[in-house]
Structure 1
Amino acid sequence: MRKILVVGAGQAGLQLALGLQSHGYEVTLMSNRTADEIRSGRVMSTQCMFHTALQHERDLQLNFWESQAPKIEGLGVSVAAPGSWGEGPAARAIDWVGRLDGYAQSVDQRVKMAGWMETFAQRGGQLVIHGAAVGDLDYFARTYDLVLVSAGKGELVQMFGRDASRSPYSEPQRALAVSYVHGLGPRPEHPDFYAVRCNLVPGVGELFVMPTLTTSGPADILFWEGIPGGPLDVFNGVKDPSEHLSLTLELMERYTPWEHARATKAELTDAGGTLAGRYAPTVRNPIGRLPGGGLVLGVADVVVANDPITGQGSNSASKCAASYLASILEQGEKEFDETWMQETFDRYWNTAQHVTKWTNAMLAPPPEHILNLIGAAGQLQPVADRFANAFNDPADFENFFYEPEKTEAYLASVTAGA
């Protein structure tokens, strides 16, 4: 029986550990917190998982909350009319919603990670509650067939060097502020189905609103992404959760009053329901070298960390775990050597590169053909639907998004067929 150590108990680490466990591997999982500490702690992320990522969970029979979590059937885009918030309430220049082919869902990672961790232990996995340092891994690398690092923050990440050729940004491109709330009303124009709402405020930032399942039941996530130094970059140093929510709502009233209108009764789900921070999107070299000569393989956002503007973090983590699981199973009894590690990452990068390209494009001011595309989706439902479904399969953006010629040809073909 091959022995594998997984360091880090997030979406990728737990999914991979449980997947390996189901195939008879002897798996040890290291987490710096217990399941109870995770469940009662602060929210860790925003997350909206689309069909492919959810299917990876179903394949491992880990979709424990599927019947409870809101089924998200659409993805809407609203664009504030440039400068309209200067004189009075902001107006929408664009507003549409695309229908998803397969529904999306969001489960608060406090709920999911705590539940999965308990499942891993119940199924006989060895769970070690301990923060891992490089020195610990030096020892473990000699006693395990493979060490996987999926702890995306802290000292361990420094083992993986930045890949400058795939990391165009050296500084954070957005300041992030998250609130989990109860009491949000439906969008009046579509009260009958759940949708993720992407509100773009040109030159200022973005507000995302997404239905979720949290520790206290169904809820919504309000998520501001502010351009650094701009009017949304005001959460640094705000420690009080109620102050954080008040600030969130004030900014909504000014920049996205159509979302604020349904948030008048919003209140935090719990004292841990807020989060603020920022980080530079970075792709890293996948193999970490230990002082004793051992090698470890980086997983998910340890090696490919994108800004959350495109909602891909948990999706990418799920896809990475599924890809790595397949590579490990295919390796059989052969050594997990450096060549295998690089090939395993390269296989994942075939998918991940599309996410990175799209996310980095969305962080930049949109060129004219993208504005035309987003505008056209308001008149042409097939365009809205295709844009929405590309959140599930970002590789499709290659066909109609990046190059003006492809965008124009695509819009012309839809218009001709309409």
Structure 2
Amino acid sequence: MRQIAIIGAGQAGLQLALGLQHHGYQVTLVADRTPEQVESGRVMSTQALFHDACETERQLGLNFWDGLCPPIEGIAFSVPHPELAGQKAVAFEAQLNDPAYSIDQRVKFAHWQRTFAERGGQVMTEQADVDTAERLSVTHDLVLVATGKGDLGRIFARDESRSPYNAPQRHLALAYFKGVRPRPGHSAVSFNLIPGVGEVFLMPGLTRTGDGAWLPYENVLIEAVPGGPLDVFGDVGDSGEQVRRMLSLMATFTPWEYDRVKDAELTDPVGTLVGRVTPQVRRPVATLPSGRPVLGLGDALVVNDPLTGQGAGSAARAAAVYLERILWQRERPFDRSWMHDTFEDYWGYARYVTQWTNALLAPPPPHVLGVLDAAQRHPSLAHAFVNGFNHPPQFFPWLTSPQEAVTFMTRHGAPSPAVHA
């Protein structure tokens, strides 16, 4: 059986390693931390996984938390009124056809890494670099890089034609809270869009306490337009100060969300994170100093801002596409042509995620605002919009075309002259 090495133990790297292992491949996984270090470390992201992405895990029997994790049953979308404090200019909600889930990645990745090792996989724990990739390329038929960190991530050249931004478009503050008051009705991702200012998200998830007990919690993510009124976390000193600033902003901009969170507490002392992401796409194949090629995977190649909640799902989709193409290749060489074609197969889906996310980083154009406004009055339109989060190609072509937006609205019984503004 051919030997494959994967550098990076996140959603894409672990899922592909376990998938290949399931099909009998000999896999070497390089992780920068042990499972115990992952479990005790700082939170990593909001990690929403919508239904289609969940299915890629279920097909491999990796859905260990289906019966435990609180389901995300829908999405509630709000735009605060620009002049009337505490009121909403736009507000609608709808249920997903199938629920989404959010598992604390500290729990998920630690368990997956242990599962891989228990099933006979080889795990190397080290801070991988280019030399690591070189060593592995000598003894393995294929080396995949599933991390964009450090010098190893930088060996993949930026694809300028697919990367419109050169700097972070949002500054991020994330916290995991226990004791958040549930929203009325069904559970949901609460998506609050504040044009020109940023976004505020709430989303239910599942983690574990230090003694191993399961703990439902709520992700709270603030995305700040750089230099704007939400951008106050650059000098935050500790978790307590970060939480105080987050609550203050929510009380001002989204008081309906503040009321849910004001009496909550952090899940753990390292349940917060601040950061920023530069959205970009990198070219899929890099050449090592020896001349041997390596293939990128997941966010080693495609990095989007988290405001559309697609990071974990896109990584899962990438792992599924790569797995299928590796199995299909059988004994044929993993040459540069195959590597490029494998990524382009994935990009056929990922381009919609990237285009949609990049579009939302800019102020919404009139035809998009028209769709959002009409969704308040037409449940079919709201349902179609919400379920696009599971399958982002559904946002096209109406997202980028005023004429197609008219067609989209009419299809759902909601013609509106606002689209022509």
TM-score range, shorter-chain basis? over 0.9
- The CA deviation at 1:140 is 1.4
SS at match of 1:239: coil
Q: Is the contact made by 2:142 and 2:294 (CA closer than 8 Å) also made in structure 1?
A: yes
Q: 1:211 aligns with which of 199, 204, 211?
A: 204
Instruction: State the alpha-carbon separation in 2 of the partners of residues 25 and 413 from structure 1.
Output: 48
Give the C-alpha shift of residue 66 in structure 1.
1.0
Residue equivalent to 2:121 = 125
Match of 2:72 in 1: 72
Unpaired runs of at least 5, structure 2: 210-214, 416-421
Runs of 4+ displaced beyond 3 Å: none
Counterpart of 1:20 in structure 2 is 20
For residue 351 of structure 1, what is the aligned residue in structure 2? 349
1:163 aligns with 2:159: yes
AA at the equivalent of 1:209: L
Alignment of 1:96-175 (within 5 A): 96-175=92-171
Supply the distance in 2 between the matched residues of 1:374 and 1:134 (Cα, whole angstroms): 47
Matched, 1:46 2:46: yes
Query: Which residue of structure 2 lines up, in the alignment, with residue 301 of structure 1?
Result: 299
What letter matches 2:377 in structure 1? Q
Matches within 5 A, 1:236-247: 236-247=234-245
Task: Give secondary structure in 2 for the equivalent of 1:159.
Answer: coil
Tell me how far apart the structure 2 counterparts of residues 151 and 376 of structure 1 sit (CA, whole Å): 41
- Give, as a single letter, the amino acid of the residue that structure 2 aligns with 1:335: P
SS in 1 for 2:263: coil
Q: 1:95 aligns with which of 91, 98, 118?
A: 91
SS of aligned partner of 1:98: strand
Cα distance in structure 2, aligned partners of 1:83 and 1:141: 60
Following the alignment from structure 1 to structure 2, what is the Cα–Cα distance between the partners of residues 111 and 136? Answer: 27
Post-superposition CA distance 1:337-374 (Å, at most 9, x none): 00000000000000000001100000011000100101
2:191 match? 198
What is the DSSP-based 3-state SS (H/G/I as helix, E as strand, rest coil) of the residue aligned with 1:291? coil
Amino acid across the alignment from 1:102: D
- Report the 3-state secondary structure (helix = DSSP H, G, I; strand = E; otherwise coil) of the residue aligned with 1:105: strand
Distance 2:86 2:288 in 1: 54
- Structure 2 residue 260 is the aligned partner of structure 1 residue 267: no
Deviates more, 1:256-265 or 1:318-327: 256-265
Which sits farther off after the overlay, 107-116 or 393-402? 393-402
Identity percentage over the alignment? 50
* 1:83 Cα deviation after fit: 4.2
Aligned to 2:371: 373
Separation of aligned partners in 2, 1:146 and 1:44: 28
Q: Tell me, in whole angstroms, the C-alpha distance in 2 between the residues paired with 1:408 and 1:398.
A: 13
Structure 1 residue 239: Cα displacement: 3.2
State whether residues 176 and 272 of structure 2, in contact with CA within 8 Å, keep that contact through their aligned partners in structure 1: yes
Classify the secondary structure of the residue corresponding to 1:235. coil
Q: Which runs of 5+ in 1 are unaligned?
A: none
In structure 2, relative to structure 1, the CA distance for the partners of 1:32 and 1:416 (3 Å cut) is closer
Where does 1:23-34 land on structure 2 (aligned, <5 Å)? 23-34=23-34
* Equivalent residue number for residue 400 of structure 1: 398
The TM-score with structure 1 as length reference comes to: 0.96
Secondary structure of 1:262's partner? helix
Partner of 2:275: 277
**Distance (Å, rounded) in 1 between the aligned partners of 2:38 and 2:132:** 23
Q: Give, in whole Å, the separation in 2 of the partners of 1:416 and 1:58.
A: 37
Name the SS of the counterpart of 2:316 in structure 1: helix
Q: For residue 197 of structure 1, what is the amino acid of its counterpart? A: S
Which residue identity is paired with 1:285? R
Work out the CA distance in 2 between the residues paired with 1:24 and 1:231. Answer: 53
* CA deviation string 1:60-81 (max 9, x = no partner): 0000011111111101100011
Distance (Å, rounded) in 2 between the aligned partners of 1:301 and 1:123: 26
Partners in 1 of 2:235 and 2:145 — Cα distance?
A: 30
CA apart distance, 1:95: 1.1
1:401 positional shift = 2.2
* Aligned AA (1:201): I
TM-score w.r.t. structure 2 length? 0.96
SS of the residue corresponding to residue 399 of structure 2 reads coil
8 Å CA contact 1:183–1:265 kept in 2: the answer is: yes
The one-letter amino acid paired with 1:392 is N
Aligned CA-pair RMSD: 1.1
Task: Confirm or deny: 8 A CA contact 1:110 1:215 kept in the other structure.
Answer: no
1:189-231 per-position Cα deviation (integer Å, ceiling 9, x unaligned)? x2xx210010011211000100000123110000000000111
Q: For the Cα contact (< 8 Å) 1:159–1:288, is it kept in 2?
A: yes
Contact 1:39–1:215 (Cα < 8 Å) also in 2: no
Matched AA of 2:35: A
The answer as to whether partners of 2:147 and 2:300 remain within 8 angstroms in 1 is: yes
